[in-house]
Amino acid sequence: MPACGVLFYATITAHPSQEFPLNPVICLIGPTASGKTALAFALADRYPVHLISVDSAQIYRGMNIGTAKPDAATLARYPHALIDILDPEDPYSAGRFATDARHEITAAQARGQIPVLVGGTMLYYHTLYTGIDDLPPADPENRARIEARLAVEGSAALHAELARLDPQSAATIQPNDRQRLVRALELILTTGQPPSALYAAQQNHRPPWPTLAIGLNPERAALHQRIAERFQAMIAQGFIDEVAALKTRPQLTAAAPSMRSVGYRQIWQYLDGATDRATAIEQGIIASRQLAKRQITWMNNRLGRDLAITLYDPLTNPAAALAAVEKYLQQPPAKPI
């Protein structure tokens, strides 16, 4: 458990019988290695919560070490919804997450529990709170057509086409972001409408729950150090062997979304002989830091427009976020944010 978790736990007292009539939802948001899990466990020891994972890699069975997934004993003590729900070959989407998360939230509230969403997949939060789950699901045939074009024409050509068809979407998607580029063109092919218009139509479909959004944002140098230490610890725990075992699955390839996850991509390349071990580890740490930068950008900008996120540094003042949740649950707002 991260060091900051010890400080979170130092302030815990239980409130087992407290009632929360307005059905609040707590979101614990932050970059990788920022201490979200430690704070979630502290809340679970203090309140009747239902933990819901917001992690696009922890949904997959067999991807344990590289995703920093809590081990079996920890999950037995602190159960999480939306962990280990799919095999790594299986597709999943932000829209499906929103549907699954809404089900978990309403079921928890019916049981008198507080739903606590914890994780760093910012697109999942965005989708849940803007209603984009109402968009059409992935169309395998149209997606295959676009991916075939991508292989022949390249991402720059397809991005130029998107810029012609939907300049607003193209402005938010980098040419090398192939996954989002393919999805945008797939939506156009499937619906005949620009994705920006489809997304705009969903903005008034906000969930009815009052929400407290806690953002964990450690100082950059300290976060980078934690990321490096955690990646090295993953290697020591057997991360390379975990990826080697995944590579033996007949239907799993390096192109699968699960294997494009940070860390897995770099170790897969090492096992393919494309890099040496030291380079793979260095690249994994760099990719993890780049992921953290993107997560922080999302948290401070686009996601910040969806939720009124309050930022805390869990390293310099680890008790502050827990105190904010305590105060919120004593006096939750009268209407959703």
Quote the pLDDT of residue 52: 99
155 and 300 share one domain: no
Given 201, 228, 245, the domain boundary residue is 201
Q: Which residues have C-beta within 8 Å of that of residue 287, sequence separation ≥ 6?
A: 262, 263, 265, 266
Whether residue 326 is contained in a domain is answered as: yes
- Domain span holding position 322: 3-132+214-330
Contacts of 228 (CB under 8 A, 6+ apart): 285
Phi, psi of 63 (to 5 degrees): -105, 85
My answer on whether 79 and 142 are in the same domain is: no
DSSP string, 238-305: THHHHHHHHHT-TT--TTSGGGGSTTHHHHHHHHTTSS-HHHHHHHHHHHHHHHHHHHHHHHHTHHHH
Picking from 201, 229, 247, the residue at the C-terminal end of a domain is: 201
Q: Looking at the structure, do residues 98 and 235 belong to the same domain, yes or no?
A: yes
Per-residue pLDDT of the chain (337 residues; tens, 9 = 90+): 333 343 443 333 334 345 554 689 999 999 999 999 999 999 999 999 999 999 999 999 999 999 999 999 999 999 999 999 999 999 999 989 999 999 999 999 999 999 999 999 999 999 898 865 466 778 889 999 999 999 999 999 999 999 999 999 999 899 999 989 999 999 999 999 998 888 776 655 667 789 999 999 999 999 999 999 999 999 999 999 999 999 999 999 999 999 999 999 999 999 999 999 999 999 999 999 999 999 999 999 888 878 889 999 999 998 999 999 999 988 655 455 5
By the 8 A CB rule, do 272 and 255 touch? Answer: no
Cα 233 from Cα 65, distance rounded (Å):
9
Q: Specify the pTM.
A: 0.77
Task: Give CA–CA dist 76/83, Å, rounded.
Answer: 12
Report residue 277 as tokens.
């071990």
pLDDT at 331: 67
- Give the span between the Cα atoms of 67 and 56, in whole angstroms: 9
Instruction: Identify the pLDDT of residue 137.
Output: 77
37 and 118 Cβ atoms separated by less than 8 Å? yes
Burial of 26 (0-12, 13-18, 19+ CB in 10 A): buried
pLDDT at position 220: 97
Domain boundary among 144, 169, 201: 201
CA dihedral (68, 43, 81, 218) positive or negative = negative
User: How high is the pLDDT of residue 16?
Assistant: 39
Q: Same structural domain for residues 156 and 298?
A: no
For residue 237 the two structure tokens come to: 């725990």
